[in-house]
Chain A
Amino acid sequence: SQKIEQNSEALNIQEGKTATLTCNYTNYSPAYLQWYRQDPGRGPVFLLLIRENEKEKRKERLKVTFDTTLKQSLFHITASQPADSATYLCAPPGGGKLIFGQGTELSVKP
């Protein structure tokens, strides 16, 4: 069955550094993949969508890569800030719906 895996452990980094989050998928080949941000008790917020023919996509301090050979997407936040602290969810489609990963909790310390 389709499976999504994100860094299971929380990621703690220092302000100003680059955070890199990983999303691995198995048993299928999604045509695109989305990343969302979720703060505690709130609904996820759409950040970026990357298609299989796009190797990289950027939006301000965010960068997403999509490696269909490795079946992996990397999500980078450059010059990280404490306000970037949140859980980040990877969501490729599957069977006509989005399959959300468990998320990686990012904590940026000042």
Chain B
Amino acid sequence: DSGVTQTPKHLITATGQRVTLRCSPRSGDLSVYWYQQSLDQGLQFLIQYYNGEERAKGNILERFSAQQFPDLHSELNLSSLELGDSALYFCASSVGGRAYEQYFGPGTRLTVT
């Protein structure tokens, strides 16, 4: 158990809908990272927050947004969902802001039908 929690574990929704994925980092970790993993793309970095502020951005679509709250939990919002958004979404956390030693959650499997 990494100490990172993600909810929900599974999500099935229709195209055009909006969903919110939630992540709670390990106790004491200030950074939260979001990744998308699909079969043909590998692990793709989406965005990082450090102590409430956006720190780094990857190939995150404009339909996706995220935030980190004062209690350090984070939410990833995915809107206008498309079939191609079906993937495993992982959250990871680390103590500092420099991407050292990331601890990953169990992931949320999103299926868009």
Contact = CB atoms under 8 A, between A and B. Distances in A.
Interface of A: 32, 34, 41-46, 49, 89, 93, 95-103
A80 to B, nearest CB: 23
B34 to A, nearest CB: 11
Contact of A99 (B45, B102, B106): B45
Contacts, number: 57
Interface in B34-93: 35, 42-45, 48, 55-56, 58, 88, 90, 92
Q: Which of A34, A96, A97, A100 has the most CB of B within 10 A?
A: A97
A100 B100 CA distance: 13
A43 B99 contact: no
Contacts of B55: 96
Contacts of A95: 56
Given A44-B43, A44-B104, A46-B103, A97 B88 contact: no
B102 A46 contact: yes
Given A45-B2, A102-B42, A103-B42, A96 B106 contact: no
Interface string B12-49: 00000000000000000000010100000011110010
Contact of A97 (B99, B103, B105, B107): B99
